[in-house]
Each structure stands twice: as structure tokens, then as C-alpha cells.
């Protein structure tokens, strides 16, 4: 039996992160949730998940920094960038990373479905 696909989630809202973790688990994927960029970055030094779900504004950090690091480590992986701000600059930065941009609030099942093609 193959291992479950793993999604790294960077979300500073603890409740939202837990909802994401549960939704991914329901869909047969594992989710590793971090509330800070330094913690998520440290995790990437020890493991390489299959995909990334990242909030743009995480405390004093920009989650796109993690997306850039992850893209350099995994050029073809699925990355979904989420934010509650409909900012054209953020959309363009996500596009340059070949990431999917999702404006919050978003239905978690719709977000999880964006990762369905991971194998």
C-alpha cells in the first residue's frame, strides 16, 4: 500500500487550519498544519510534502516566501495560494509561481478538490 499524499498547510488561523486538516484527511490525504512561516520552513528542511496550501498573510510574514521555497524544491508540485485580499499583485505573484490563487472565503471541499490530481 502506498503512503497517503501529504499537503503542507500554512494557516495562522488555528480553527481554519484544523478544518483544512480534517477535510484533507476525509479525502484520503494527510495534512501537516503550521501556524507560522518559520515552523513550516523548518519542516521543509526535514520532509518534502506532495503539495502546499499557503495563506499569504501569516502574522508578520508573507506566505508566498514559503511557496517560493517549496517551488524550488518541488518544481511540479501543486501549490494553492489563499488570501482574503483580492490584490492583483498577489494574483500575479501566484501566477509566476505556477500556483492556483483562491480568494477567501472559499469552500474547503472546493479547495481540497484542487489537490485531487496529486499522485
Distance CA 7, CA 80 (A): 10
In this predicted model, what pLDDT tens digit does every residue of 55-105 receive, in sequence order? 999 988 999 999 999 999 999 999 999 999 999 999 999 999 999 999 999
Q: What distance lies between CA 80 and its chain's CA centroid?
A: 5
The band of 1, judged by pLDDT with boundaries at 50, 70 and 90, is: very low
| Cis, peptide link before residue 39, omega less than 30° from 0 | no
Query: 45 vs 23, 38, 68, 70, 101, CA distance in Å?
Result: 26, 11, 14, 10, 25
* pLDDT one-digit tens code per residue, 30-52: 999 999 999 999 999 999 999 99
User: What would the grid cell of residue 80 be?
Assistant: 494553492
C-alpha cell, 77:
508540485
Q: Is the C-alpha dihedral spanning 64, 73, 46, 23 positive or negative?
A: positive
User: Do residues 91 and 109 lie in contact, with contact meaning Cβ atoms separated by under 8 Å?
Assistant: no
Say what the pLDDT of residue 3 is.
55
Amino acid at each position: 500500500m502506498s503512503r497517503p499524499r501529504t499537503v503542507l498547510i500554512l494557516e495562522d488561523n488555528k480553527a481554519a487550519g484544523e478544518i483544512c486538516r480534517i477535510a484533507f484527511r476525509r479525502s484520503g490525504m494527510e495534512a501537516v498544519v503550521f501556524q507560522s512561516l518559520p515552523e513550516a520552513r523548518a519542516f521543509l528542511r526535514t520532509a518534502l510534502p506532495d503539495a502546499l496550501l499557503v495563506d499569504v498573510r501569516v502574522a508578520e510574514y508573507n506566505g508566498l516566501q514559503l511557496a517560493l521555497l517549496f517551488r524550488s524544491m518541488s518544481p511540479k508540485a501543486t501549490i494553492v495560494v489563499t488570501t482574503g485580499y483580492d490584490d492583483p499583485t498577489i494574483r500575479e505573484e501566484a501566477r509566476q509561481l505556477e500556483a492556483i490563487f483562491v480568494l477567501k472565503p472559499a469552500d474547503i471541499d472546493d479547495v481540497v478538490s484542487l489537490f485531487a490530481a496529486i499522485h
